Amino acid sequence: MSGTSITNEVFLGDTYPIRQRNILYWALCQRFRTQTQMVVIDLPSSIPTLFSTACGFNIFQFTSLSLINAIGPWCFNESKTDDNIFNTNYLIGGRDIDWHHRQSFCGGASSDLGAKKIIPIRTIDSLFGGLKSLGWLHINDQEHLLEIIAAAKYTITTHQPMMTVVLSQSNSASILKAFIAFCTSIDYAVYDNKGQQLLAESELNGINGSDIFALHKTEVLPASLLSKLQASSNAAPAPERAAFREKLDIALVAQTSQGVDILESLIRNQQQLFTPSMLLSKNVYEKETFDGVEYHWTGPDAQTSFILPLPHSGQFHLQFNLFSSQAVAREMQAYLTIDGQKPRPISIPENGTIQYDFCVAAESFKGFVNIHLNVNKVAYIPDSGKHLGIAIEDIKIFWQENLQ
């Protein structure tokens, strides 16, 4: 893998989990027309959101309750909007309540300790029961999945949207069984990421850490969709597997379709690029532009936090591409911490790249990582009145799936 330090000794496994989920969401997007209404309970930079944005869907974006519980109320995003993405001032749950959340803000100053934030939680039925149409409901909140769909039954049965659900790599079997039972009660069929219908309990083995989708039983899966999903998942003989995957990937990205450029980056280059504005973040200034280059300064505090979506457990390579940095930020040792692991020292260049390798175990995988970048010292700029650390152009994450 060009540009990364991941070796061939550590892989993500031979079941192609990342590749398959990327093809799944790209293929599902091809079912819809532009301006399709979509409700997304996931990170704003999630794979479904990226493909749906590229396809011109109208997206109602929500942060998940699980993320707020894990990270803190600072990642309850109320302000960022895009042409087709409508960030709401609510969380989605199983009942309408106002949540008085009191928790230390992750990565915040001591003055944040014990700060309270009122977060309104609403059901899908209360927010979208009067919607004229809803084509897609995507949920990445396994912990609250069953209560969310129970409180969305009117909307689901009225509009019959496609549903996609992200399952974690642990404790998902009982939840999946209950989800299938709910879907069966409202005449929905549930499919795995290969397009195979899930019926018997014995078929649920190996679904952990995967994505599933559900369609009303009046809908028939298009043959073109099934062929993409099933061909992608076929296991070629081990010696021929790499060549088999490469041939299939070339055929997929050669198609003229919305989002195919994103698909190529994800399945052939095995990387994903984020600008700071795409991520939930703390201690980041608004975008600036110089000579056609866009970047974001960190500040005014020394520690900056990013919530980075993660496609699967395994080993990853992280790159921060810098436009510039303040001298005081380079003079002292900087540190990077991922998900509460021991801080590791990093070097801050004047410009260029910060590189970092990390690994996430299957039992601790939760669909994202919480990254803290601490430069220890920021510079006060009198002309702007700002305290600046480093200027980030983009953040890239690389992975490598086993093709042996």
Least confident of 297-301, 370-374, 400-404: 400-404
| 178 and 300 share one domain | no
Q: Burial of 360 by CB count in 10 Å (0-12 exposed, 13-18 middle, 19+ buried)?
A: buried
| 293 and 170 share one domain | no
Q: Output the domain CATH number for residue 354.
A: 2.60.120.260
Q: Which residues of 119-154 are buried (b: 16+ CB within 10 A; e: fewer)?
A: bebbbbbbbbeeeeebbbbbbbbbbbbbbbbebbee
Question: Distance (Å, rounded) from C-alpha 238 to C-alpha 360?
Answer: 26
pLDDT of amino acid 205: 62
Cα-atom radius of gyration of the chain, to the nearest Å? 22
Q: Output the domain CATH number for residue 203.
A: 3.40.50.150
Point out the domain boundary residue: 195, 221, 247.
221
Q: What is the pLDDT of residues 80-122, one digit of tens each?
A: 445 556 666 899 999 999 987 765 444 333 344 455 778 899 9
pLDDT of amino acid 83: 53
Helix axes 17-29, 223-233, angle to 10 degrees: 170
Residue 184: which domain range?
Answer: 32-221
pTM of the model: 0.88
Beta bridge pairs of residue 91: 121
pLDDT band at 190 (very low <50, low <70, confident <90, very high): very high
pLDDT of amino acid 214: 96
| 38 and 131 share one domain | yes
Is 297 within the bounds of a domain? yes
pLDDT over 50 (residue 153): yes
Q: Is the peptide bond before 345 cis (omega within 30 degrees of 0)?
A: no
pLDDT over 70 (residue 221): yes
| 210 and 331 share one domain | no
Per the structure, the count of domains in the chain is 2
Is 345 within the bounds of a domain? yes
| 95 and 193 share one domain | yes
Mean pLDDT of 369-389: 94
| 333 and 208 share one domain | no
Rounded percentage of the chain residues whose pLDDT exceeds 90:
51
Is 96 within the bounds of a domain? yes
| 209 and 275 share one domain | no
| 161 and 306 share one domain | no
Is 262 within the bounds of a domain? no
pLDDT over 70 (residue 309): yes
Rounded percentage of the chain residues whose pLDDT exceeds 70:
82
Mean pLDDT of 141-156: 96
Check residues 327 and 240 and name the one with the higher pLDDT.
Answer: 327
Is 11 within the bounds of a domain? no
Q: What is the pLDDT of residues 228-237, one digit of tens each?
A: 787 766 555 5
